[in-house]
Amino acid sequence: MSLDEIERCIRLYAPNADLSLLSKAYTFSSEAHFGQVRISGEPYHHHPLEVALILTQLKLPPSSIIAGLLHDVLEDTTVTKEQLCAEFGEEAATLVEGVTKIGQIAFKSLEEKQAENFRKMVVSVAQDFRVLLIKLADRLHNMRTLHALPEEKQKRIAQETMEIYAPLANRLGIGWMKSELEDCALRYLKPDIYQTLVKKVEAGLSARTTYIETVIEEVRSTLAANGINGKIYGRTKHFVGIYQKMMRRGIPFEEVYDLMGIRILTDSRMNCYAILGIIHSLWPPIPSRFKDYIAIPKPNLYQSIHTTVVGPEGQHVEFQIRTEEMHKLAEEGIAAHWVYKEGGPVREKDEKTFAWLRQLVEWEQDITDTRQFMDSVKSDLFGDMVYIYTPQGDVKELLRGSTPIDFAYAVHTEVGNHCVGAKVNGKMAPLGYILNSGERVEILTSPNHLPNRNWLKLVKTPKAKAKIKHFILTTERTKSLEIGRKLLERELKKAQLNPKEVLNGDQILNGVKPIGIHTLEDLFAGIGYGKIRAASVIAPLLPEPHFKTEAPKEIKKNDSEKGAIKVKGLGDIMVHISSCCTPVPGDEIIGFVTRGRGVSVHSRTCPNIDHFTYNQDRLIEVSWERAAGITHCVDISVLTVDQPGVLGAVSTAISQDAANISRAEIVTTQDQKATLKFSIQIRDATHLQQVLNHIEKVEGVLRVRRVRKEGVK
C-alpha cells in the first residue's frame, strides 16, 4: 500500500482534483505516529493509509481522504486541532475532530460506553455525515486485522460491528461494506460455522459458476433478440446471508439453492421492467420471492427489482435488475449523493437521502436516556419495515407492527399529538390497528385530543414513543409545578409565614442548594413529584422548636354537600376518585397528592391509606361539595339461590330506586348458588344503602355487599 495508489484511485473519479495536500497529510500523519506500532506488529501509519484507500472506494473528495489519513492524530498523538487547521484547513480538521470525539469519555460500564459513543457519533454526523463514513472505514480496516487481538477483544469488537456498524453501512446504502463487515464479524463470533461455510461454498464453486454462465448466456441472447442492452454478471451471496437464510428457514447448507445470483444493469427504468418480463417468459417465477424496490425504494434509497425463478434443471436462480444509476447508489450509498467539484465543497444532491440521519439527530434530542436511545436505534436498524401511503401518495416507512399513531407521528409531531382516529383505505380504523404495506392512511385530528400513557402500549416506532413520553413528561412537570407550589404555600401558611415574602427571598433557596436545587421552579417540581417534602424545606426557616407537620384533621360529614370534591388549601387542582375504594358522597374521605396527576381521593377506611402515612405532608383534607346530577359508579355483589328469575328480580329492585345498571354478570356454583355482580350508578352513600336494603328483601337473596378493589392504586 502506498500513497501513489490512493492518488491513482482519486484520479479515476476526480481527475482535476487538487492533491497537493495529500502528500503533506501522509507525511504529517507518519511523523505524528512515528515509533507507534499496531498490535499486529506493523507500523501504525499503515492503518491511516488503508482507511484512506477505503474512502476512495466511496469516491469522497480529497478533504475527506486527508481526514482519513489524519483521523487518529488528535487521539493518539500530541497534535492539536489548531495545528490541523493551520496545515490542512478547517474542513479537514473538523472531520478529524468529529471522529476523535467518539470514544473519549470514561464510562461506568462497557454497555454504557458503547451506547454513549454511538450517541456522540450521531451528534458528529449531524454536523457532517462524512464523520460516519470515516468511522466506518476505520472499523472496516480494524476488522480486517482483528486476528492480532486477544480472543475476548475479538468477540467484543465483532459483536459491536454486527450490531451497530454493519447495519449502519446498510442504512447508508453501502452494500459491499455491510457484507464485508458482517462476514468479518461472523468469522470471530462463530468461527466453526464460518469455516464450514467457506469450505462448502468453495467446494461447489466451479459447478455453480458453470451453471450461472449457462443461464447468463441464455438471458443475454434473449435480450439482444429483443433489442435491449444490459450488462449481465454473476454474484455470490456473502456468508452471513447464507447463514441467516439457514437459520431463518431451519434448513441445512445443501438446501440453500441461490448461493449465486445474476445481476443485470441497464440504461432505463422502463428497460428494467421489460427485462423482468423477458426473464419470467423464460422461466416461471416464485411469487413469494418477488420484490419491487424500484417502485418502493428501501429506506436507504436502494432501488432494484428482485425476482427468483425456477431455472434450468429446476434450480432456483435469483435476479437483480437495476439501472446503472441505481447500481451506483447501491454500491456507494449515501456518498453517491455528494459529488466533488474542483474549487468547491461537497454538495448535497438529494435531501431524501439524509432523512434517516436527521431522524437520528431528532431522537438524540428527544431521548435523554442513552441506553434507551441505543435501543431505539437498534430497533430501527434491525426491524422489519412496512411502507404506508399518505393521502398525497407519499410513502412513510414504519416498523412492522406499527399503528396509525406511529404513522401520525411520522407525518408530523403535531399530527401525532392530536390524532383521534384514522381512515385506512378509506375505512375508519381504531388507533390500535396494525398497518400493512401498501395501505393508504388518513389521520383524523382534534385540537382537544392529547396523548396519554395508554398510547405507549399501541406504538412501535422509537419516534412515536419518544414524542409521547416527551409530551407526558412535559405535561406532568407542569402539573407538578402547580402542585408543588400550592403544597409549599400551604405549609408556609400553616407555619404562619407569608408565602409571598418567603418565596421572594433568598433564604429558602439557600437551604436547598446543597441538594442541587437552584431555582424555585426546580423546587416546586421536586415537591410536586414527591422527591422533596415541603415540611423539610421550610424547617430551617422556623424558630426552635421546629415546626412539625400536623396530621390531617377529621372531616365532619356534611349531608348538605354532595357530589363534587373540594380540596382544602389548594384551590383549583385536578382531582380524581381512586379506583381502589371508589368513595361516594357521604363516605368519609381523604386526599393524597400524587406525583404529576393531581389529588387522588380515597375513603378513610381504604387499606391503601396505610401506604401513604410515610409521607404525611402529601395527605390533604378534602370534602364533598354540592353538585346536582352527578352520579358515581359502585360495584356490588349479590349472593343468591340459583333459581329462575332471580337476576330479573334483583335488577328490578335496583331500577326501582333510580339507580342505573352499567354492567351485570352472573356466576353460578355447584352448590346451587349464584353470585350476581353489578356496576351501578348512584348519587351518594345514602342512595347506595337504600339500594342495598331493597336488594336484601328480594326473595332468594342471601347476602348483598359493596365491593372494593384490592391493591395500591
DSSP class of residue 496?
T
The answer to whether 9 touches 53, Cβ cutoff 8 Å, is: yes
* 135 shares a domain with 27: yes
Residue 399 pairs in a beta bridge with 385
The answer to whether 69 touches 23, Cβ cutoff 8 Å, is: no
Q: Which among 604, 608, 610 has a CA at the least distance from the CA of 586?
A: 604
Kindly report the backbone phi and psi dihedral angles of residue 230, in degrees, each rounded to the nearest multiple of 5, phi listed first.
-170, 145
Q: Which of 580, 610, 626 is the last residue of a domain?
A: 626
Q: Is the omega angle on the peptide bond into residue 447 within 30 degrees of 0, that is, cis?
A: no
DSSP class of residue 428?
E
* 33 shares a domain with 174: yes
Residue 388 inside a domain? The answer is no
> In whole angstroms, what is the distance from residue 364 CA to residue 373 CA?
7
Q: Which among 612, 613, 571 has a CA at the least distance from the CA of 483?
A: 571
* 223 shares a domain with 127: no
pLDDT at res. 447: 86
Q: Which of 137, 165, 189 is the last residue of a domain?
A: 189
* 219 shares a domain with 205: yes
pLDDT at res. 305: 95
Mean pLDDT by 10 residues, the chain (713 residues): 88 87 90 84 87 91 90 86 88 82 45 54 61 90 92 91 84 86 95 93 88 94 93 89 87 82 94 94 91 81 90 91 90 60 40 53 54 56 71 81 94 92 89 87 89 89 87 80 82 82 79 77 77 74 53 36 60 71 85 75 82 68 74 88 84 84 80 87 88 90 83 39
DSSP class of residue 560?
T
> In whole angstroms, what is the distance from residue 152 CA to residue 154 CA?
5
The answer to whether 332 touches 59, Cβ cutoff 8 Å, is: yes
- Count of CB atoms situated within 10 Å of the CB of 100: 19
Cell numbers linked to 242: 447464507
Please name the residues in contact with 215: beta carbons below 8 A apart, sequence gap of 6 or more: 262, 311, 312, 317
Residue 439 inside a domain? The answer is no
DSSP class of residue 224?
H
> In whole angstroms, what is the distance from residue 569 CA to residue 574 CA?
13
Q: Among residues 76, 369, 521, 696, which one is catalytic?
A: 76
Q: Which among 436, 423, 434, 710 has a CA at the least distance from the CA of 580?
A: 710
* 650 shares a domain with 585: no
Q: Which of 588, 607, 626 is the last residue of a domain?
A: 626
* 692 shares a domain with 601: no
> In whole angstroms, what is the distance from residue 664 CA to residue 166 CA?
57
- Say how many domains are in the chain: 5
- Rounded to the nearest 10 degrees, the angle between the axes of helix 370-382 and helix 355-366 is 150
Q: Which helix (H) or strand (E) holds 374?
A: helix 370-382
The answer to whether 7 touches 49, Cβ cutoff 8 Å, is: no
Residue 316 inside a domain? The answer is yes
Please name the residues in contact with 35: beta carbons below 8 A apart, sequence gap of 6 or more: none
Please name the residues in contact with 298: beta carbons below 8 A apart, sequence gap of 6 or more: 173
Which CATH number does the domain housing residue 237 bear?
Answer: 3.30.460.10
Cell numbers linked to 487: 403544597
The answer to whether 97 touches 126, Cβ cutoff 8 Å, is: no
* 8 shares a domain with 155: yes
Q: Among residues 75, 366, 522, 621, which one is catalytic?
A: 75
Query: Which residue's C-alpha cell is 421536586?
Result: 526
> In whole angstroms, what is the distance from residue 281 CA to residue 246 CA?
30
Answer left, alpha or beta for residue 56, where phi above 0 means left and psi between -120 and 50 means alpha.
alpha
Q: Which among 293, 240, 238 has a CA at the least distance from the CA of 260?
A: 238
* 210 shares a domain with 248: yes
The answer to whether 682 touches 631, Cβ cutoff 8 Å, is: yes
Our answer to whether residue 572 is catalytic in this structure is no
Residue 68 inside a domain? The answer is yes
Residue 249, classified by CB atoms within 10 Å of its CB into exposed (0-12), middle (13-18) or buried (19+), is exposed
- Rounded to the nearest 10 degrees, the angle between the axes of helix 46-57 and helix 3-13 is 10
Residue 217 inside a domain? The answer is yes
Which CATH number does the domain housing residue 641 bear?
Answer: 3.30.70.260
Dihedral sign for Cα 554, 560, 562, 567, please.
negative
Residue 146 inside a domain? The answer is yes
Please name the residues in contact with 356: beta carbons below 8 A apart, sequence gap of 6 or more: 171, 299, 300
> In whole angstroms, what is the distance from residue 355 CA to residue 348 CA?
12
Q: Cα dist. 533→504, 509, 511, 525, 639 in Å? A: 20, 14, 13, 11, 46
Query: Which residue's C-alpha cell is 422533596?
Result: 532
> In whole angstroms, what is the distance from residue 9 CA to residue 26 CA?
16
* Cα Rg of the chain (Å, integer): 35
Q: Cα dist. 301→137, 267, 308, 380 in Å? A: 21, 18, 22, 16
End-to-end Cα separation, the chain, in angstroms: 69
> In whole angstroms, what is the distance from residue 424 CA to residue 443 CA?
9
Give the domain range for residue 614. Answer: 563-626
Please name the residues in contact with 510: beta carbons below 8 A apart, sequence gap of 6 or more: none
Q: Which among 320, 302, 36, 12 has a CA at the least distance from the CA of 171?
A: 302
Residue 372 inside a domain? The answer is no
Cell numbers linked to 105: 469519555
Residue 391, classified by CB atoms within 10 Å of its CB into exposed (0-12), middle (13-18) or buried (19+), is exposed
Residue type at 469 in one-letter notation:
K
* 212 shares a domain with 130: no
* 32 shares a domain with 162: yes
DSSP class of residue 145?
T
Residue 70 inside a domain? The answer is yes
Which CATH number does the domain housing residue 145 bear?
Answer: 1.10.3210.10
Our answer to whether residue 366 is catalytic in this structure is no
Residue type at 127 in one-letter notation:
Q
pLDDT at res. 555: 33
* 263 shares a domain with 171: no
How many degrees, rounded to 5, is the angle at CA 78 between CA 72 and CA 80?
Answer: 80
* 325 shares a domain with 213: yes
Q: What distance lies between CA 439 and its chain's CA centroid?
A: 22
> In whole angstroms, what is the distance from residue 85 CA to residue 477 CA?
45
DSSP class of residue 391?
T
